[in-house]
Structure 1
Amino acid sequence: MMENLGREMVRRCTGLPLAIIVLGGLLATKKTVREWDMVRQNINSHLRRGRGCELLGVSEVLALSYRELPYRLKPCFLHLGHFPEDYEIPTKKLIRIWVAEGFVSCEHCEGVEEESMEDMAQAYLDELVERCMVEVVNRGSTGRIRTCRMHDLMRDLCLTKAKQENFLEILNQLDPSGRPVDSPSLSMMRVARSIGRLRRLAVISDGNLSRFIPSGYRRNSHMRSLLYFHEKPCHVEKWGLLKSVFKNFTLLRVLDLEGIQGNEGRMPKEIEKLIHLRFLSLRDTDIEELPSTIGNLRYLQTLDLLTWNSTVQIPNVIWKMQGLRHLYLPESCGDDSERWQLANLTNLQTIVNFPWEKCDIREIVRLKNLRKLVIDDPKFATIFNSSDVTLDLLHSLSFVSNEGSTVVRVITGCPHLYKLRIEGQIEKLPECHQFSLNLAKLNLQGSELMEDPMTTLEKLPNLRILRLQMNSYLGKEMTCSNKGFPQLKSLYLYDLPNLEEWKLERGAMVNLCHLEISNCTYLKMVPDGLMFITSLQELVIRSMLKAFRNRLENGGEDHCKIKRVSSVVFWYCDY
């Protein structure tokens, strides 16, 4: 019965691939014959209201897919219209904006142990992907979606529905050919449509911002979200022009200024007026100093200060932002000697560049919800001196090691890591059983290991990405055994100065897709076992001797080992 219903509906798609894909995504959410029949009836009803013919076009299927969306997913779908056409959307940022907008609330997470609003937002995105309304571009080492985008026709539907529901508006300073739009009539139409009722605005800039908001939009005092996009470097005359934004849009919850450059890199003190702000991104801007009034943003959830400047003068007010969940700090937070306290920020899930020069590192232990931590204090391991100290929710860790014993203490104190980056000397690699079973991504830099790390690392059951970089191994031989690295997808061997021979037994790395070898100039050849890895799709050889390259090229002695690889790229291999 379901097969017959499916065939009837597919027949009406007239072979249009997108229509069939989206219809399939919709039907995948329906589990019973009755639900499938309801979709069929909705299609018939849609056709009767439409063109009067018996066949579906793409637009009808897309409209039906939106109509069938659960209420909780509709604002998330409409929000995707903010992003320019063909734009690769970073999902981590997207999810945090959804949470800031209030599309996901704590009520949705009740009854699910350790599930956060970000987890629920991720589930919403996954469901939109399953319904074929969003396309996955890249996935990370743990399988989570890293970037996504919308098909052009799906985006057209999204924008149509968003305008109908007064959900958002796009101020596009570029026409389709890439030239700036300068049409007074078009501008006046937009302003007339927008005055007084605009809630969300995305500005697609041509690279020059004479002002942050055109004067005609300033009457929209209820605006909740303001995002900027630009393909080329974007400049504003001075950051002081933000004062008008802060004064006119006091209900803003989301302000994304990523990538904007301006003179006089001081944030205006009037930012204190944005007391409802949940998301603020100054990433890749040239802001040099924040005012003490930023401490008034007590509901802020995400604060991204990874600016172009390695140093940003940040006053001692971060502790006031008790709603903070994600904190990205510059390498240095300024020369103020006043000590910070962050232990009261119990909602923190992310800290990048923990300010150990201003803060007692023992405060980390009190941050029980921490999931990601980047810290370059060599004394970090001392917080695990007591065996009862663990960071149970920590999934991603980057730290500096200067003693081999500290590494064991750290990784046993973080038992559920998925991602681990260690910079600095390691006397001896921990045993396999001491690593988290969940570990999917490992990056070792400057470890100066003398023993072959592969004998231990190949036993990690879920390792998918491995990077050995910058003298991480100083030995001459490296061996990967049969059945070793069962899940490894990507391997990067960079700057291993003494490596002469790499042995790869048949049956090792059976799922390897991507291999890069760079500046391992003593390595004579790729291993023979490479020819048995049928999954290998990409091979990148960089900064290797010309003789190494000649062996791999067509007609070379080792070409038979890589002839199945679809993409082989050589960079700077001419010496």
Structure 2
Amino acid sequence: MLLKSKDQDFAAITNKESRLPERVRRLSVHAGTNIDAFGDNQLSQLRSLFFFTKEKDVWNNFMSSFSEQGSRLVKVLDCTSAPMTTFPQSLTKLYHLRYLCLRDTAVSSIPPSIANLQHLETLELQNTLVRDLPSEILRLQCLRHVIVYDYRSDPTLHGFKALKGMESLSSLRQLMYVEAKQGETEPMVSVGRLTQLTMLGFLQLGAEHGDALFSSIRELKLLRSLRLDSRTGDEALSFQFKSFSSLRLLHRLDMRGRVEKSLEGIQNLTNLSILCLHGSRLQVDPLELLQDLPNLVSLHIDEVCDGESLCFKAGTFLTLTDLRISRLDNLRRVTVEDKALSRLKRLLLNDCKLLKEIPSGIERLRNLQQLRLINMAAELTTTMYRGSQHDNYSKVMHIPNVFIGQHSRESGGVGNWL
């Protein structure tokens, strides 16, 4: 395969000793690449480049050759983890470029000259320092995927500030993550005109954004994934699930913030397979409505309700394989009735300090492969090491992997497999 690639100028792999063949079309640059490998006129026919090293010498040498040789036929450029701090101006000359990824770099701004990339379809800026996109990006009518976020240095997920006139990008499929501005609703209205969207994420939402945003979301009938983060934990979003019956294709929903209304109507999202609710602070048992979702595979409930008990009723949640229960401060009991959660494979209990007993009925979950107990009460975790003399231990004997530990933002996680 390597010989065929070389003979047909399809791809090239270099090491410390080798040099590139002539007329390379597809190139992957790895750690340890010979920095003198990029000779005269070898990159002029380049179509795709993937950069997989953080070595500054290799990066500087390559970019120098790349700029000098005018590799303007490049369509795919992936510079993940490259040691760059600024956006290389030479990239804006790649007229045929369709895919640009600067993931995990220190780039903090995108120049207005990005408007030169008239064929650009995908812009990936995950885990960069970019917080603003230039308004000139609205000229890129071929854009389908705009993915900008950063969660490395802060627990808060960062996106990019909303742009006025986003509706002009009529080909957009993915838009993640837009930071709403306080008191400004125009970007929410614009989103409703991007009817081809399949993935959408909004951050820093306030109560004033609710009506305009949810009216727009109802128009996005192709939406498959939706994330909505409120400005603060106390900010209430007037989310009315019953008005979302048009979102027949939605399979992932991630909401972070207090829900002003109940979850009534969420059962209409029949294709929903992944549901994450954080900080909803409901006054009612959320399981009463969630149990009617026929295709739910993964459920994460975090600060969702204030009740003392959760009960998975008999014959419910039959498709669920992954369940995470976090930060329910008043939770004292979890019950799994007969034939509930029959396909569950992974269960996480995190930071539920009043829960001192392993969920009743967990011994019925014969498909359960992993149980993780993180930041739980000492009365629960210490009894897990006492062997068969304690009920907590005997309930989990059939589970192949049981992990008990602690986790904090400052020190990371520590723990032991039982």
TM-score range, shorter chain: 0.7 to 0.9
CA contact (8 A) 2:267 2:293 kept: no
Alignment partner for residue 408 of structure 1, among 234, 241, 248?
Answer: 241
Matched, 1:341 2:165: yes
Corresponding position of 2:152: none
Task: Report the 3-state secondary structure (helix = DSSP H, G, I; strand = E; otherwise coil) of the residue aligned with 2:14.
Answer: strand
Q: Deviations over 1:85-107 (max 9, x none)?
A: xxxxxxxxxxxxxxxxxxxxxxx
Corresponding position of 1:446: 279
Matched, 1:552 2:377: no
| CA RMSD between the two structures | 2.8
CA contact (8 A) 2:51 2:79 kept: yes
Corresponding position of 1:323: 142
Q: Deviations over 1:462-510 (max 9, x none)?
A: 00000012x2222111111001101000001111111111111111000
Q: How do residues 256-295 of structure 1 correspond to structure 2 at under 5 angstroms?
A: 256-262=78-84, 265-295=85-115
CA contact (8 A) 1:423 1:447 kept: yes
Alignment partner for residue 390 of structure 1, among 199, 203, 219?
Answer: 219
Alignment partner for residue 314 of structure 1, among 103, 109, 133?
Answer: 133
CA contact (8 A) 2:110 2:134 kept: yes
Corresponding position of 1:399: 228
Matched, 1:201 2:201: no
Whole-Å separation in 1 of the counterparts to 2:141 and 2:94? 16
Q: Check 1:170–1:380 CA distance in 2 against 1; reply closer, same or farther (3 A cut).
A: farther
Whole-Å separation in 1 of the counterparts to 2:266 and 2:214? 20
Whole-Å separation in 2 of the counterparts to 1:221 and 1:566? 55
Letter in 2 for 1:467: H
Letter in 1 for 2:354: Y
Letter in 1 for 2:400: S
Identity of aligned residues (%): 28
Letter in 2 for 1:382: D
State how many pairs are aligned.
388
Matched, 1:219 2:64: no
Whole-Å separation in 2 of the counterparts to 1:267 and 1:568? 46
Corresponding position of 2:410: none
Deviation of the 1:219 alpha carbon: 2.7
CA contact (8 A) 1:465 1:489 kept: yes
Whole-Å separation in 2 of the counterparts to 1:289 and 1:387? 29
Whole-Å separation in 1 of the counterparts to 2:166 and 2:65? 32
Deviation of the 1:235 alpha carbon: 4.2
Q: How do residues 106-505 of structure 1 correspond to structure 2 at under 5 angstroms?
A: 158-172=1-15, 181=16, 183=17, 187=18, 190-191=19-20, 194-195=21-22, 197-206=23-32, 214-216=37-39, 218-230=41-53, 234-235=55-56, 242=63, 244-247=65-68, 248-262=70-84, 265-309=85-129, 311-330=130-149, 331=158, 333=160, 340-357=164-181, 360-376=187-203, 377-378=205-206, 379-383=208-212, 389-400=218-229, 402-403=235-236, 405-408=238-241, 411-412=244-245, 414-431=247-264, 434-469=267-302, 471-505=303-337
Letter in 2 for 1:301: E
Q: Check 1:238–1:222 CA distance in 2 against 1; reply closer, same or farther (3 A cut).
A: closer
Q: Check 1:419–1:326 CA distance in 2 against 1; reply closer, same or farther (3 A cut).
A: same
In terms of mean alpha carbon deviation, does 374-383 or 317-326 score higher? Answer: 374-383
Deviation of the 1:168 alpha carbon: 0.7
Letter in 1 for 2:280: S
Corresponding position of 1:98: none
Task: Report the 3-state secondary structure (helix = DSSP H, G, I; strand = E; otherwise coil) of the residue aligned with 1:422.
Answer: strand
Q: How do residues 18-33 of structure 1 correspond to structure 2 at under 5 angstroms?
A: none
Deviation of the 1:413 alpha carbon: 5.1
CA contact (8 A) 1:243 1:268 kept: no
**TM-score between the two structures when normalised by the length of structure 2:** 0.84
Q: Quick check: which one's helix share is greater?
A: 1
Letter in 2 for 1:201: L
Whole-Å separation in 1 of the counterparts to 2:216 and 2:46? 50
Letter in 1 for 2:66: V
Whole-Å separation in 1 of the counterparts to 2:291 and 2:170? 37
Corresponding position of 1:534: 366
Deviation of the 1:163 alpha carbon: 3.2
Q: Check 1:510–1:385 CA distance in 2 against 1; reply closer, same or farther (3 A cut).
A: closer
In terms of mean alpha carbon deviation, does 376-385 or 292-301 score higher? Answer: 376-385
Q: Structure 1: where are the runs of 5+ without partners?
A: 1-157, 173-180
Task: Report the 3-state secondary structure (helix = DSSP H, G, I; strand = E; otherwise coil) of the residue aligned with 2:394.
Answer: helix
Q: Deviations over 1:22-70 (max 9, x none)?
A: xxxxxxxxxxxxxxxxxxxxxxxxxxxxxxxxxxxxxxxxxxxxxxxxx
Whole-Å separation in 1 of the counterparts to 2:281 and 2:41? 59
CA contact (8 A) 2:243 2:265 kept: no
Deviation of the 1:456 alpha carbon: 1.4
Task: Report the 3-state secondary structure (helix = DSSP H, G, I; strand = E; otherwise coil) of the residue aligned with 1:318.
Answer: helix
Deviation of the 1:259 alpha carbon: 1.2
Letter in 1 for 2:395: K
Whole-Å separation in 2 of the counterparts to 1:283 and 1:486? 38
Q: Quick check: which one's strand share is greater?
A: 2
Whole-Å separation in 1 of the counterparts to 2:237 and 2:360? 33
CA contact (8 A) 1:549 1:570 kept: yes
Q: Deviations over 1:282-320 (max 9, x none)?
A: 1110001222111110111110122332x4453211111
Whole-Å separation in 1 of the counterparts to 2:177 and 2:321? 28
Letter in 2 for 1:347: S
Q: Check 1:202–1:529 CA distance in 2 against 1; reply closer, same or farther (3 A cut).
A: same
Whole-Å separation in 2 of the counterparts to 1:199 and 1:240? 19
Q: Check 1:278–1:534 CA distance in 2 against 1; reply closer, same or farther (3 A cut).
A: same
Deviation of the 1:527 alpha carbon: 1.8
Deviation of the 1:159 alpha carbon: 3.6
Deviation of the 1:347 alpha carbon: 1.4
Corresponding position of 1:77: none
Deviation of the 1:550 alpha carbon: 2.9
Letter in 1 for 2:343: N
Deviation of the 1:519 alpha carbon: 0.9
Whole-Å separation in 1 of the counterparts to 2:247 and 2:282? 22
Deviation of the 1:380 alpha carbon: 4.7
CA contact (8 A) 1:246 1:273 kept: no
Q: Structure 2: where are the runs of 5+ without partners?
A: 150-157, 407-413
Whole-Å separation in 2 of the counterparts to 1:354 and 1:201? 33
Whole-Å separation in 2 of the counterparts to 1:523 and 1:200? 56
Deviation of the 1:322 alpha carbon: 0.9
